[in-house]
Amino acid sequence: MDIHEYEVGLHKGELDTPALLVNLDAIERNIQRMADFSRAHRVNLRPHAKIHKATPILAWMQLRAGAIGITASKLSEAEVLASAGIRDILIANQVVGARKIRRLVNLAAYTDLIVAVDSIDNVLEISRAAHEKRTTVGVLVEVNIGNERCGVEPFATTRDFVQSILPLPGIRFRGVMGYDGHLAFVENLEERHTRSQAAYRILNETRDLLLHLGSFELRRGVEVMHVLKEKNRILGVRTRDVATGEELEVLADCTVGDDGVHSVVRKACGIEIKTQMVPLDLLCFGFDWPSSLPFATARIWMNLKGLGSGILGLVAIPAGVGKGAGLVPVRPKIFNANPNVTESWTQLCSMDAVIHEVIQDRKFPQDFVRIRRPWGHAPRYGTEGAVLIGDAAHPVSPAGGQGANMSVADACVLAELALRNEPNLLAEYERRRRPANKRSIGPTRVAVSVWSLPEWCSPASFFLSMVRWVGRHPSLMRRAIRSFSTRFQEKIN
């Protein structure tokens, strides 16, 4: 119960006003219907909070039903949502003026914030403030699709606008948006539909123009067969179309090795990484997310009674659209030698009825994909004509858990440097990314040293009682989470 407990059961005439009253069945039905509709049409949904006046509990219900984030009309609405723990927020409006921009940038430090922009001066102000605060604000360029209220003019004007803001620090271009609000009062539905389609055609054609900005060619379904070299310089790659077998040479000033832990580009660069194996194997599988498990929340079952068997537990991670990914961490040595492993598995599965819904009729261990992960840090992030990003430069263990973030951060810095034609691309990229990546790999070392303790010295009981103790002290928990999260933030020297 909460602080409004005393209001439960009151007659509506006895309520203080203003009071928001909702028909819960109808609201749940509507939220679900909208989520199902979007899923069926394969579009992402970011509902507008002004419909429910940024009522956080309703926003959370929309997120739980599958919305990718929440839209707000103004800064103060976004602040209300953020203080209720909502992280992915779009302000579908321009925020102007020094004071408001200070608030905007502050909010961006705590959230994944996107704001609509349509003026260079405004973007420059946001960029300066964000850069000073060492944060990043996502910007969505609003295009005027006929509303004549705000927005950059479409086509070439938007293209030039985007090109001029791309190199700015402190902001990240997140796309374009348009609003056909001028058609809201067209009463004839057929006319409204036709005119609305024409308006969005303007937006789509502008988007297509932007996609050709970098004059790049996107090829899917190709495999890199060889890296082309001339002495020590990488010239490009030879690819093979997986479907047709057709081979093609792709030459480039700079080849980006984003091909993961076994990178062929890294090998061609002659860069060796001293890797270590994570002393933990992962048995992985995919499953349909059971309705009895809360949506969008990972679930962990520790195998406390059977740790000695080598099976440490089971993790169920939501993977979107009704699917989940399952992981069973096992200690390789004990696991191989233990004849009672099936018994321990059965014991783990009987801990909770939901586990059967997750595992279904999979046989242990043969129906699981076994992953062994090496981890390390390359001594160089590239060579003449090539740059390495992500796992190719710094394979991480799943215990680190931040590899995807590191890869994206690498890619963003590289793109930023390339867009401003940085003359010392490799050196500057390494200067910016190496310290942050080094810090991110840190916890993995800690995890590995804990796992490397002798087998008889099970860390689980000590570790668990520590977690439980911290969990009982919210301020300590907050401090622990903050210190972990700030550890991974990039510090630019």
Ligand X SMILES: Cc1cc2nc3c(=O)[nH]c(=O)nc-3n(C[C@H](O)[C@H](O)[C@H](O)COP(=O)(O)OP(=O)(O)OC[C@H]3O[C@@H](n4cnc5c(N)ncnc54)[C@H](O)[C@@H]3O)c2cc1C
Nearest to 164 by CA among 203, 114, 213, 92: 213
Look at strands 386-388 and 255-257 and give their pairing: parallel
Which residue's CB comes closest to ligand X?
A: 403
Find out whether 264 and 255 touch, Cβ atoms under 8 Å: no
Q: In angstroms, give the least distance from the CB of 219 to ligand X.
A: 10
Q: What CA–CA distances, in Å, run from 21 to 2, 11, 29, 410?
A: 17, 12, 16, 48
If the CB atoms of residues 120 and 225 are measured against ligand X, the closer one turns out to be 225
If the CB atoms of residues 180 and 258 are measured against ligand X, the closer one turns out to be 258
Helix (H, G, I), strand (E, B) or coil at 260: coil
Q: Which residues bind ligand X (CB under 6 A)?
A: 223-224, 258-260, 264, 282, 327, 371, 373, 390-392, 396, 398, 401-405, 407
If the CB atoms of residues 108 and 265 are measured against ligand X, the closer one turns out to be 265
Q: In angstroms, give the least distance from the CB of 115 to ligand X.
A: 26
Report CA dihedral (97, 100, 106, 108) to the nearest 10 degrees.
-80
If the CB atoms of residues 162 and 224 are measured against ligand X, the closer one turns out to be 224
If the CB atoms of residues 28 and 223 are measured against ligand X, the closer one turns out to be 223
Q: In angstroms, give the least distance from the CB of 65 to ligand X.
A: 23
Beta bridge partners of 240: 223, 247
If the CB atoms of residues 304 and 371 are measured against ligand X, the closer one turns out to be 371
Q: In angstroms, give the least distance from the CB of 137 to ligand X.
A: 22
Q: In angstroms, give the least distance from the CB of 33 to ligand X.
A: 32
240: phi then psi, degrees, rounded to nearest 5: -130, 130
Q: In angstroms, give the least distance from the CB of 464 to ligand X.
A: 21
**Rounded to an integer, what distance in angstroms lies between the CA atom of residue 201 and that of residue 203?**
5
Burial of 351 (0-12, 13-18, 19+ CB in 10 A): middle
Nearest to 273 by CA among 92, 124, 441: 441
If the CB atoms of residues 250 and 264 are measured against ligand X, the closer one turns out to be 264
DSSP 52: T
If the CB atoms of residues 47 and 398 are measured against ligand X, the closer one turns out to be 398
DSSP-assigned letters across all residues of 104-134: HHHHHTTSEEEEEE--HHHHHHHHHHHHHTT
Count of CB atoms situated within 10 Å of the CB of 170? 21
Q: In angstroms, give the least distance from the CB of 493 to ligand X.
A: 24
Q: In angstroms, give the least distance from the CB of 76 to ligand X.
A: 33
